[in-house]
Structure 1
Amino acid sequence: MNGIKKNLRQFNFPDNQVYDVIHQTYLRGIKLLDSGQEIENPRAWIRATSLNVIREMSRKQKKEQSWDSHLIEHQRAVKDSDNSEDENLRLLELALKKLDPKDYKLIVLREIEGLSWKQVVSHLASKGEDITEASARQRGNRALKRLRKIFFELKNHHK
């Protein structure tokens, strides 16, 4: 546990997130064992896997901070400008917020972060949601249709 805390501090995370890291590492171990693979050196595997979990947490935090700063910049731009393009962006933002969280996540991963469908499936699998690439693509297309519908409803309502 001290090694995990050391790694958390190295990535500027609070010590209390040690249990999140242990939990994620445990889940990955269970998944690995369920797939029929063996862990030959459990201590080394735990050390490496927990470090990977912390790295992923760090990447996720940086992406979220980047996304938040872009969102804040965009919100400021919307306030400063009256043109229809900014209005459309504001309505799109509202439409995104009204989406189901799963639809929102798919659209963010695919359209905003620019991930491939394979990367989207991999990301969802790391969060415990196992789906095929084809079903992810289909869900993504349906999510975009719902987003369009909400967007145009908002647009017609704001005229």
Structure 2
Amino acid sequence: MKTRFMVAGLALLAVAAVSLVAAEIDLEGVKCIMNPKAAAKADKSLEYKGGEVFFCCNNCPKGFTKKLEAKDKTVMAKANHQLVATAQAKQEHCPFTGGPMNKELTVDGATVKFCCNNCKGKAETMDGDEQLTALFGEEAWEKAGFEVAEAKKSDTK
């Protein structure tokens, strides 16, 4: 009987911890990585790069995992974009040059900073997946020095 209460208490504590972490992340306007027409939900997430990425249903994380295994550049860029849009990741440098940040542009809810108007202008001439991959793809992610903020990490998932 004591074991049953202890297990139930631990399960309740885990659910509360997950809820608190998800509450820190504002998902208003954030779309599912796999289904961009659907809203991301706090209870449909996976750990990614030390943060959490969010989906609309239970099937999307499975598809996301398969795309990651296949090294799908667009899906990786969309996941990185979501980390920035949810304020889990912070940028240190221009994604094109690696230089200091002076100009900024908001791309689907995520603010990206650039070293100059030339880099910002280059980003503005792109759209869709081309823009996401150029600004949030793995090469840009490294060059820009994006880091997932420690305060947003969830050790409960």
TM > 0.5 fold call? no
Which structure's residues are more often helix, by fraction? 1
Larger radius of gyration: 1
User: TM-score normalised to the size of structure 1?
Assistant: 0.30
Which structure's residues are more often strand, by fraction? 2
Which one has more relative contact order, counting CA pairs under 8 Å at least 6 apart? 2
